Amino acid sequence: MESVLPGEGRLAPRSWWDSDAPSLLLDGSWKFHFSPDAAGLTIGFEEPGHDDAEWDLLPVPSVWQLAGLPAKPRYSPPAYTNVIYPFPVDPPHVPDANPTGEYRVSFDGPEGWPAGRRVLRFEGVDSHATVWLNGVLLGWSTGSRLAAEFDVTDVLRPGENVLAVRVRQWSAASYLEDQDMWWVSGIFRSVSLLCRPAGAPSDVFVHADFEAATGTGVLTVDATDAAGSPVAGRLDFPDLGLAGADAAVAHPLPGVRPWTAETPVLYDGTLTSDTEVITLRVGFRRVELRDGLLQVNGVPLLLRGVNRHEWDPETGRTISLETMRQDIALMKQHNINAVRTSHYPPDRRFLDLCDEWGLWVIDECDLETHGFFLNEWRNNPSDEPMWQPALLDRMQRTVERDKNHPSIILWSLGNESGVGRNLSAMARWVKSRDSSRLVHYEGDWDSGDVDVYSRMYADVPEVEQIGLLTESAAATDELDAHRRSLPFLLCEYAHAMGNGPGGLTEYQDLFDAHPRLQGGFVWEWLDQAITARNADGDDYFAYGGDFGEPVHDGNFITDGLLFPDRTPSPGLLEFKKVIAPVKLTIDPQTRAVRIDNRHDFLDTSGFTLDWLLEDSGARVDSGTMAMPLLAAGESATVGWPAELTAAAALLPAGTTPPGTHGERWISVTARLAADQPWATAGHEIAWQQAQVEFPAGPDRRLAAPSSARQSRHGSIGPVTIDPRTGLLAAVGDLAVHDARVTLWRAPTDNDHGIPHTERDTGKSMDTRWRAMGLHRLQHKLIDLEVGDQEITSTYHVGPAGSDQRAVVAYRWTSAEPDEAHLAMKVDPPAGWPVLPRVGLALELPGRLQHLDWFGLGPGEAYPDTTTAVRVGRFASDLAGLQTPYVFPQENGNRRSVRWASLTDSGAGILLIGDPLIDVTVRPWSSAALAEARHPDELTPDGFVHLDIDAAVGGVGTAACGPGVLPAYEITGPVTLQLRLRLVGADEG
């Protein structure tokens, strides 16, 4: 367990395949005994006769830390750390308190299997397994996310067999598995017994090259025995015209359809040896570094990727096939074309699906030694000779298992493991074994060992320099020349933690502009939370610290584009829109639509186009338009169909509330023409909107409710201002509390992070805003004038102890009896250079639960996350307006609102932007939101909390990476302008 070797007694790694050779799946309920340390180990548990009647039952596969949850961990609890090892860094030693699971299962020895070897296969055991069959020690293994096989031919017997496995949470190998994820243990992937028929190959390596210039595929299949010598085999691929062809010979195949992630053509066939028929699915493609670019089949790729960990909030790192399908379907539905298997090889079935449905894959080795960074990289296993066998073993098991997947285009040496000789050795081995793919590793910025220059979280200016080849030099001239010859990938960017990621568009624009920038992978796919239960018996999503871990990294584990239950976050919708592979541009002037086909391989024949014309969110007319046939990379401009032009000239159809104006918008949408395995025909791929002139016509405004109110001191239209304080006190009969300027928001995860620009100060925006005192402003009335037509007031707004204050001037006027107009000018002091928001916050009666609005929607949006929202008319109750981030934070802003009504049974207030406002409505205050650690701690306080903002700050990605881009920051004076009205039950 403290050996730095990778294991003992295992068989050489090999590729996985399905065949007619029999096998026995051993998954199921196994006997389980847990011990927190060595004192509790069971002497002799491996003996077949050992009495395990009192033992528990545990499912295999599973991780034991999640057993008993959501109520309470039955054995040792899960623990989360990012970089720091949760034990002293004293390699190869691990804690005496080493949680250990002992497993036993009995099964009947298979009968009637053909002659040959019997192999016991573990797909994944975390972290150290010692294995006995029928009391005989087979060996031990490490490499948690890597397969391990043991030869059991001589030990297996007819009748009852007893398999015993001792699994330790900590081993020397734990130093190699410091990925940013939960520490969980056990036999978490399947276990099976295989027959390897005598004379059948031990390993198979499929070579399926594609020569783009001639359209010719070349298929060779190397079948080898345990000694590496060739095994004769015949290929049968009906669709390739191969019948009984010699596998070892190169078969030129003119006219094959190549495999790409956009066109995942697989040819089904078999490799037949004397004793086995192996099923193969072959995809032809050539991956190469050419002209400084990552090319497949002669075409440079643009990767629109995500980093995917394997996680499920209930089963942890044990993932069902259904969940894998769901992940890939969701990726494809959201225009994602690439996945990095961060930071270990996934369940092998995931890669089958990538081949089948089409995703470019970076398959990453199960290696991370990040915690050595906290010790100045002293004794880093990446460079210590004693660890070289273990590192090479990991790389070999990665490549050997997965080498026959066409979806894999890059092998990654691992993640965050510093630099060192052992990494170089891994890279050399990969190149010697598989020259058909490129090598990736991010941790060495000089990039000497690799074929792509890869970085994480580089900011927009630096990425632009890299795109322009004007980046700063690598360590030596030689390395620099090499690196400049390489394409660039952001293997991680746009940290999707909480509200965000902001600023995706700016990266995508760079990827589109500079060929060297071949895309990136958002960090990360899924919030890795765990379903747990609170004291009230309600379930919630737990993160680091929730299981009492003494050392942990809090909610840094919930930073995905999907919420833990795999519902898409607003960030995923934004990403989908930003990376859409079809770009649509509507020009109302020339009545034309430009279509850019941004696929790398697909033409547009698989897509349809349709249009929709709306008046203030109400449908006027809709129809289809012909999608021009465009090859990948081509563009065309087509005229509007006559029906659209005619419809655009129709008189207004929709209605709009009193005091508001109509707007006419065209939407054009590209959709799937036919069903795909991952979505049905009609699925939206891309869309765009444009405003068109609103034809003059009869006023379609709804009648205003008659204002029976009498003008009296302190009233402006329907609004009552308290003549003593100058504050808004009521709108009609609706009491208003605490209506004041607000310059603060409940910090987002990104507000808690340190933006690149604050590296010197080490301060997050949250720290800076709290230091300014924005969360505890006091309001001092300086001047108040209450007239019949106009009420003006001026306040000094600043925190205790500071001489920094904003001057806030309110001016209430009314042009119509039913309406009040507010202009609120906020002049911040020089000491408050950047603000999170500027607006008016107020509390209204809690019964106003319904928001109708015309503006951007349906989802939330912030200035740097506004791509996925469209102009339209939307409605929601309060609950539907909250975004359930795992860690409570600012959320739910509805952006560029023209008007919004907040009502109860149709009666309430109407806000009209002059011209645009942002609106947030919650059943709790921003202060309560900022206090809560989990959403279940938030309870409605009886009020409706309304924020009407003139400016909202961007969100950025400072949780890990650059902060908000300057264009999305609020600086300087801001004026909020809006009109207020009542809406009646009849007009709602």
- Give whichever of 753 and 828 is closer to ligand IPT, judged by the CB atom: 753
Residue 5 in 3-state DSSP? coil
Sign of the torsion formed by the C-alpha atoms of 394, 396, 398 and 400 = negative
Instruction: Work out whether 190 is an interface residue with ligand IPT (CB under 6 A).
Output: no
Residue numbers 810-849 binding ligand IPT by CB under 6 A: none
CA atoms of 911 and 948, how far apart (whole Å): 9
Measured CA distances, 633 to 212, 305, 358, 504 (Å): 17, 19, 19, 21
CA atoms of 892 and 640, how far apart (whole Å): 36
> What's the min distance (Å) between Cβ of 80 and ligand IPT?
11
> What's the min distance (Å) between Cβ of 492 and ligand IPT?
6
Residue numbers 639-678 binding ligand IPT by CB under 6 A: none
- Give whichever of 175 and 357 is closer to ligand IPT, judged by the CB atom: 175
Contact with ligand IPT (CB under 6 A): which of 416, 596, 614, 852?
416
Instruction: Work out whether 412 is an interface residue with ligand IPT (CB under 6 A).
Output: no
Instruction: Work out whether 52 is an interface residue with ligand IPT (CB under 6 A).
Output: no
List, edge to edge, every strand of the sheet that includes 719-721: 715-716, 719-721, 728-731, 734-735
CA atoms of 300 and 141, how far apart (whole Å): 40
Amino acid at 361: V
Instruction: Work out whether 415 is an interface residue with ligand IPT (CB under 6 A).
Output: yes
Task: At 27, list the tokens.
Answer: 């998954």
**Count of Cβ atoms closer than 10 Å to residue 18 Cβ:** 12
Task: At 632, list the tokens.
Answer: 């990948």
Contact with ligand IPT (CB under 6 A): which of 149, 178, 180, 766?
180
Pairing outcome for strands 719-721 and 728-731: antiparallel
Using the 8-state DSSP alphabet, how is residue 230 labeled?
B
> What's the min distance (Å) between Cβ of 415 and ligand IPT?
5
789-826 residues labelled b (16+ CB within 10 A) or e (exposed): eebbbbbebbbeeeeebbbbbbbbbbeeebbbbbbbbb
Going by C-alpha positions, the residue among 665, 500, 675, 497 that lies closest to residue 578 is: 500
H helix or E strand, kind and range, residue 429 = helix 421-433
- Do 443 and 377 touch, CB atoms closer than 8 A? no
When CB distances to ligand IPT are compared, the closest residue is 180
> What's the min distance (Å) between Cβ of 522 and ligand IPT?
11
- Give whichever of 541 and 874 is closer to ligand IPT, judged by the CB atom: 541
Contact with ligand IPT (CB under 6 A): which of 147, 494, 797, 960?
960
| Helix%, strand%, coil% for the chain, nearest 5 | 15, 40, 45
- Give whichever of 569 and 901 is closer to ligand IPT, judged by the CB atom: 569
Contact with ligand IPT (CB under 6 A): which of 19, 82, 263, 272?
82
Instruction: Work out whether 451 is an interface residue with ligand IPT (CB under 6 A).
Output: no
Instruction: Work out whether 85 is an interface residue with ligand IPT (CB under 6 A).
Output: no
- Strands (E) across 659-722 are located at 664-672, 684-692, 715-716, 719-721
Contact letters for ligand IPT, residues 471-500 (x by CB under 6 A): ---------------------x--x-----
> What's the min distance (Å) between Cβ of 82 and ligand IPT?
5
CA atoms of 464 and 470, how far apart (whole Å): 9
Going by C-alpha positions, the residue among 14, 42, 193 that lies closest to residue 119 is: 193
Backbone dihedral angles phi then psi of residue 946, each to the nearest 5 degrees: -115, 125
Instruction: Work out whether 523 is an interface residue with ligand IPT (CB under 6 A).
Output: yes
Instruction: Work out whether 614 is an interface residue with ligand IPT (CB under 6 A).
Output: no
Using the 8-state DSSP alphabet, how is residue 317 labeled?
T
CA atoms of 195 and 342, how far apart (whole Å): 32
Contact letters for ligand IPT, residues 127-166 (x by CB under 6 A): ----------------------------------------
As a residue count, the chain comes to 988
- Give whichever of 161 and 499 is closer to ligand IPT, judged by the CB atom: 499
Instruction: Work out whether 456 is an interface residue with ligand IPT (CB under 6 A).
Output: yes
Task: At 974, list the tokens.
Answer: 């801001």
- Give whichever of 886 and 910 is closer to ligand IPT, judged by the CB atom: 886
Contact letters for ligand IPT, residues 531-560 (x by CB under 6 A): -------------------------x--x-
> What's the min distance (Å) between Cβ of 491 and ligand IPT?
8
> What's the min distance (Å) between Cβ of 346 and ligand IPT?
15
Residues 6+ positions from 559 with CB-CB distance below 8 Å = 495, 496, 497, 498, 523, 524, 527, 749, 959, 960
> What's the min distance (Å) between Cβ of 367 and ligand IPT?
12
Q: Which residues are catalytic?
A: 416, 492
- Do 751 and 956 touch, CB atoms closer than 8 A? no
> What's the min distance (Å) between Cβ of 343 and ligand IPT?
6
Instruction: Work out whether 341 is an interface residue with ligand IPT (CB under 6 A).
Output: no
Q: Tell the burial category of 249 from Cβ atoms under 10 Å away from its Cβ (0-12, 13-18, 19+).
A: exposed
- Strands (E) across 864-923 are located at 870-877, 894-904, 907-922
- Give whichever of 311 and 523 is closer to ligand IPT, judged by the CB atom: 523
- Do 571 and 233 touch, CB atoms closer than 8 A? no
Instruction: Work out whether 87 is an interface residue with ligand IPT (CB under 6 A).
Output: no
Residue numbers 672-711 binding ligand IPT by CB under 6 A: none
Number of residues near ligand IPT (by CB under 6 A):
13
> What's the min distance (Å) between Cβ of 457 and ligand IPT?
5
Sign of the torsion formed by the C-alpha atoms of 463, 468, 470 and 473 = positive
- Give whichever of 551 and 642 is closer to ligand IPT, judged by the CB atom: 551
Going by C-alpha positions, the residue among 729, 711, 702 that lies closest to residue 899 is: 702
Pairing outcome for strands 539-542 and 530-533: antiparallel
> What's the min distance (Å) between Cβ of 941 and ligand IPT?
33
> What's the min distance (Å) between Cβ of 361 and ligand IPT?
17
H helix or E strand, kind and range, residue 553 = none
Measured CA distances, 93 to 98, 175, 182, 903 (Å): 11, 9, 21, 64
CA atoms of 171 and 178, how far apart (whole Å): 12
Site of interaction with ligand IPT (CB under 6 A): 82, 180, 343, 415-416, 456-457, 492, 495, 523, 556, 559, 960
